Structure 1
Amino acid sequence: MTAPDIGQQYDEIASWWNERHDHSTYGLAQVNRALAFVPNGGKALDVGCGSGGRFVRRLIEQRFIVTGIDASAQMIGLARANHPDTLFINANIIDWKTSETYDFILVWDCLFHLPLEHQAQVLSKLCGLLSKNGVLIHSFGDGDGDHTDRWRGQTFRYSSMGITRNIEVLHDRGLSLLHLELDQFPENHVYAISRKL
C-alpha cells in the first residue's frame, strides 16, 4: 500500500472519525503521562493528527504551539475548522520535510499504517525533529510483520517492526526510553515515551 492510499481511506471516514474522537478520552491518559516529562509550552507536532480534537486541545492547554500533519485532506479540513488558529498540514509523513524542531512530538495510532519498509526511516526522522530534551510519545503494533484487516467497510493494511526494533531506533537516534507499556485496551499495541538527550 502506498502512502496516499491511507489518506484516501481516511477521507472516506473523516466525518465519522471526527464525531467519534473529537471528545473521546482514548489515549489522553497516555499523552498526559508523556506531558508530565516536559515543561509547559514550546512547540508540539501531532503526527497523524486526524481532525484534531482531544489531543490538540490538550496540547494547547499546556501552552504548546501545535502543528498537525495528516495524509487525509478531509481530516485536515475538519482539523482546520475545529482549530482555526492552529497550523495543519496535509502531507504524508514519509516524504514531509521541515527545518523546525519540536519540544513534544505525538505519534498516536498512525505509524502502523506505514509500509513496514518505511517505519524505521520515519521513526528515525521524527527523533531527529526533537529539540534537546524534547519528548516523543509514539504507539506501534505489538507484533512483527504486516497484515490486513477490514474496518469501516475498507481493507486497511497494518504493519509493525516490533518492540525491540522500535527501541533500537530510539537508542540509535540518541533518545532515552522513559516509559514502555504494552497497552492492550481498547487497541492491541505498545506505546513508548522517550526523551532526546
Structure 2
Amino acid sequence: MHPSASQIVGLYERHAEAWDRERGKALFEQSWIDRFRALVRPGGALLDIGCGSGEPIARYLIEQGHTVTGVDASPSMIEACRARFPDHAWLVADMRSLALDRRFDGLIAWDSFFHLSHDDQRGMFPVFAAHAAEGAALMFTSGPAHGEAIGSFEGEALYHASLAPDAYVALLSENGFDVVAHVVEDQTCGGHTVWLAKARGMTRKEKAAG
C-alpha cells in the first residue's frame, strides 16, 4: 500500500478551500444522481459519505426535497456544509468507523470511497449495510480494475484504489445489495466508474424473526 493512503484526511483538510474552489458547482454527475434518486422514495433521507463541502451534489439532493446527513473526516469541509445548509446534519467522522445507529433511504459515496485502501474498502460494505433501510439505494465510484493509482492535488500525492469488479459484486451481494447498474469509465460522466445498487427487502420469515 502506498504511504499516501494514510494521508488522505490531512490532505483534504489542508487544502479544503482549494478543493471547494476547483471542484466547481457544475453537476456533471446529474444523470447518475437522478438514477440514484429514482430508487429512493420522494423526500427520502439520504446519507452522503465523504460529502466534502456539500456542493454540488448535496446541494442538488437538498433542492430535490431530500433530508441529507453528510459525513466527512475534514472539519473544514463540514464547517462549509454547516454554513451553506444549516437545516441539515453534518458530521465530522471517518467513514471506516461510521456508526450512526440509524438507517437511510439512500447512501452515496461519490469520489470518496475510492480513496480507501483495498482492505478498508472491503470493510465498508458492512458499514453500508448497517446504514441502509430496506430497499435503500447505494451508489459509489471506484476504479475500473483492481489496483492503486496515485494522483496529485496541490502538489501532494493523492491516493486512489479499486477492487476488481467481481469483488465488488460479491461484497455487495454478501451484504444484502443487488447491482442495478454499473458502467466502467462512463464518458458521459467524466470517465467515472459507477456502481448503483439496491438493498434487498427482508423476507416474511426474516421480518417475523426480527
What are the Cα deviations for residues 138-171 of structure 1, in whole angstroms up to 9, with x where unaligned? 1111121223232321111211112111111111
Q: Secondary structure at the match of 1:79?
A: helix
Deviations along 1:31-72, one digit per CA (max 9) or x if unpaired, are 111111222112100011000022112222232211001111
Structure 1 distance, partners of 2:182, 2:137, is 13
Compare the two structures and name the one with the higher strand fraction. 1
**Counterpart pick for 2:89 among 83, 87, 90:** 87
Indicate yes or no: 2:199 matched with 1:196.
yes
What is the CA distance between 1:2 and its match in structure 2?
8.0
Distance 1:57 1:147 in 2: 29
The residue matched to 1:23 in structure 2 has which SS?
A: coil
User: Within 1, Cα distance between the matches of 2:4 and 2:149?
Assistant: 15
Task: Determine whether 1:99 maps to 2:101.
Answer: yes
Residues 94/189 of structure 1: CA separation in 2 closer, same or farther (3 Å cut): same
Deviations 1:78-134 (A, max 9, x none): 111111111111111112212110001011011111121111111231133110011
Show structure 1 runs of 4+ deviating over 6 A.
none
Aligned to 1:94, what secondary structure does the other structure show? helix
Using the alignment, how far apart are the partners of 2:79 and 2:179 within structure 1?
34
Q: TM-score, normalised by structure 2?
A: 0.86
Distance 1:148 1:22, change over 3 A: closer
Whole-angstrom CA distance in 2 between matches of 1:174 and 1:158: 25
- Report the secondary structure of 1:120's partner residue: helix
Check conservation: 2:114, 2:161, Cα contact below 8 A: yes
1:156-175 equivalent positions in 2, closer than 5 A: 156-175=158-177
Asked whether the equivalents of residues 142 and 188 of structure 1 are also in contact (C-alpha less than 8 Å), the reply is no
Please give the root-mean-square deviation of Cα atoms over the aligned residues, in Å. Answer: 1.9
Q: 2:139·2:197 contact (CA, 8 Å) conserved in 1?
A: yes
Aligned mates of 2:192, 2:65 — CA distance in 1: 29
Structure 2 gaps, min length 5: 201-210
Q: State how far apart, in whole Å, the 2-side matches of 1:126 and 1:158 are.
A: 19
Q: Report the Cα distance in structure 2 between the residues aligned to 1:60 and 1:168, rounded to whole angstroms.
A: 32
C-alpha deviation, 1:187, in angstroms: 4.8
Task: Confirm or deny that 1:69 pairs with 2:34.
Answer: no
Larger radius of gyration: 2
Equivalent residue runs for 1:1-197 within 5 Å: 1=3, 5-185=7-187, 187-197=190-200
User: Partners in 2 of 1:40 and 1:2 — Cα distance?
Assistant: 40
Report if aligned partners of 1:22, 1:51 keep a CA contact under 8 Å in 2. no
Structure 1 unmatched runs, 5+: none
Aligned residues: 197
Q: 1:146 to 1:161 in 2, by over 3 A?
A: same
Q: CA deviation at 1:184?
A: 4.0
